């Protein structure tokens, strides 16, 4: 796959000014305050998986508007101590799937909360969380409610992502001071938003992040999901100003500037889905608006890979990095039959 974006030496310096609404902070402060009026945990019940080395629970927590959002909570079986925890977000068009599909983090000794993506089930994986809010927009999730930031699907999804961290901290067996946000593509964008909105997050792992430098992305690539926004504007020609305004409230560069957690990034330099320059725009400005020294961060690039990035090689790098940031994820086993409750 040929490279189509900036060369690597320019990417390493690429820090564009991204349009940011004057009320960006007030918008998100008010959105999250409204969500916080509902207790976060709604239901937690054990799930039989047939995996004796892991314990899994089917979790329902209150997301945007108090809407029930589903998640899988998995951790090593029969472990005594509270564990460092990875809250993971899935890619565009995916749901949480089945509990045995994503086991890297619990097998590595972490507690793991995998959030469902409201309304997005069916394209690549199944989910259990509807998005009951309707508003004018296009037929794809990235265009739902896109004419107004208050109605936009990603206002709801980002709120869910923040609430997932709060839900994780309320679960038994979680060390609330050692919670990391992680994801790839859409999940990487959600994790980045969480890093900008949750001031005491312990770590960020963001790979090929979506929703970064969106104004450039919709002009640079016609691959989905950005291509779906372009398709919408090709029909709704008079809506460009409103769409661009809405997108400015969810841009990962703005969230990255407000983030303070140690961060681990990965990008394929041939990625036509989430162009490399858009992810570098976030990485190069990470922590810039905090008034503090730049947080510890690292970027791993894969010159001959597209949206798949480094795959297992990158995961190995994430595992080694996170162990160094959060400390050992190993804990002494409990007595037989005393799995975490």
Question: Model confidence over 188-224: pLDDT tens digits?
Answer: 999 999 999 999 999 999 999 999 999 999 999 999 9
Is the pLDDT assigned to residue 47 strictly greater than 80?
A: yes
- How confident is residue 332, by pLDDT bands cut at 50, 70 and 90? very low
Is the pLDDT assigned to residue 66 strictly greater than 50?
A: yes
Share of the chain above pLDDT 90, in %: 91
Using CA atoms, how far apart are residues 124 and 111, in angstroms rounded to an integer? 25
pLDDT for 183 = 98
Is the pLDDT assigned to residue 333 strictly greater than 60?
A: no
pLDDT for 338 = 32
Is the pLDDT assigned to residue 331 strictly greater than 60?
A: no
Is the pLDDT assigned to residue 187 strictly greater than 80?
A: yes
Is the pLDDT assigned to residue 340 strictly greater than 80?
A: no
Q: What is the mean pLDDT of residues 80-85?
A: 94
pLDDT for 125 = 75
Please give the residue that has the higher pLDDT: either 335 or 100: 100
Q: What is the mean pLDDT of residues 11-31?
A: 97
Determine contact, residues 274/212, Cβ cutoff 8 Å: yes
- How confident is residue 134, by pLDDT bands cut at 50, 70 and 90? confident
Q: What is the mean pLDDT of residues 271-300?
A: 97
Using CA atoms, how far apart are residues 183 and 80, in angstroms rounded to an integer? 27
Q: Which residues are catalytic?
A: 185, 271, 307
Using CA atoms, how far apart are residues 341 and 318, in angstroms rounded to an integer? 28
Return the CATH class of domain 8-326. alpha beta
Using CA atoms, how far apart are residues 208 and 199, in angstroms rounded to an integer? 22
Is the pLDDT assigned to residue 337 strictly greater than 80?
A: no
Please give the residue that has the higher pLDDT: either 2 or 321: 321
Q: Report the candidate in 224, 148, 174, 178 with the shortest Cα–Cα distance to residue 71.
A: 174
Pairing of strands 111-115, 83-89: parallel
Share of the chain above pLDDT 70, in %: 95
Q: Report the candidate in 67, 250, 239 with the shortest Cα–Cα distance to residue 150.
A: 250
pLDDT for 329 = 54
Is the pLDDT assigned to residue 339 strictly greater than 90?
A: no
Q: Report the candidate in 274, 225, 268 with the shortest Cα–Cα distance to residue 253.
A: 274
- How confident is residue 124, by pLDDT bands cut at 50, 70 and 90? confident
Is the pLDDT assigned to residue 335 strictly greater than 70?
A: no
Mean pLDDT (the chain) is: 94
């Amino acid at each position: 796959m040929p490279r189509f974006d900036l060369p690597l030496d320019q990417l390493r310096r690429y820090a564009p000014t991204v349009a940011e609404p004057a009320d960006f902070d007030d918008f998100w402060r008010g959105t999250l305050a409204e969500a916080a009026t509902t207790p976060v945990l709604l239901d937690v019940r054990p799930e039989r998986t047939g995996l004796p080395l892991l314990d899994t629970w089917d979790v329902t927590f209150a997301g945007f508007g108090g809407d029930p959002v589903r998640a899988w909570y998995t951790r090593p079986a029969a472990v005594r101590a509270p564990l460092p925890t990875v809250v993971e977000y899935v890619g565009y068009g995916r749901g949480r799937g089945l509990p045995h599909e994503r086991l890297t983090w619990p097998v590595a000794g972490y507690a793991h909360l995998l959030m469902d993506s409201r309304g997005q089930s069916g394209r690549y994986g199944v989910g259990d969380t509807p998005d009951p809010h309707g508003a004018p927009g296009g037929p794809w999730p990235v265009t739902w409610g896109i004419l107004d930031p208050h109605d936009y699907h990603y206002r709801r999804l980002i709120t869910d992502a923040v609430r997932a961290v709060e839900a994780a901290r309320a679960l038994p067996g979680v060390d609330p001071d050692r919670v990391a946000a992680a994801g790839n593509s859409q999940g990487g964008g959600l994790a980045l938003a969480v890093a900008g909105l949750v001031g005491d997050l312990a770590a960020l792992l963001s790979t090929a992040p979506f929703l970064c430098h969106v104004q450039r992305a919709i002009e640079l690539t016609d691959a989905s999901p950005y291509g779906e926004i372009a398709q919408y504007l090709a029909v709704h020609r008079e809506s460009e100003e409103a769409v661009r305004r809405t997108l400015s409230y969810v841009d990962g560069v703005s969230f990255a500037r407000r983030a303070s957690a140690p961060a681990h990034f990965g990008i394929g330099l041939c990625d036509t889905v989430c162009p490399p320059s858009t992810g570098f725009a976030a990485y190069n400005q990470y922590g810039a608006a905090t008034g503090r020294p730049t947080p510890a961060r690292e970027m791993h690039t894969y010159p001959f890979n597209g949206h798949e990035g480094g795959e297992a090689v990158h995961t190995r790098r994430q595992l080694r990095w996170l162990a160094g940031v959060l400390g050992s994820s190993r804990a002494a086993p409990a007595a037989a039959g005393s799995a975490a409750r």
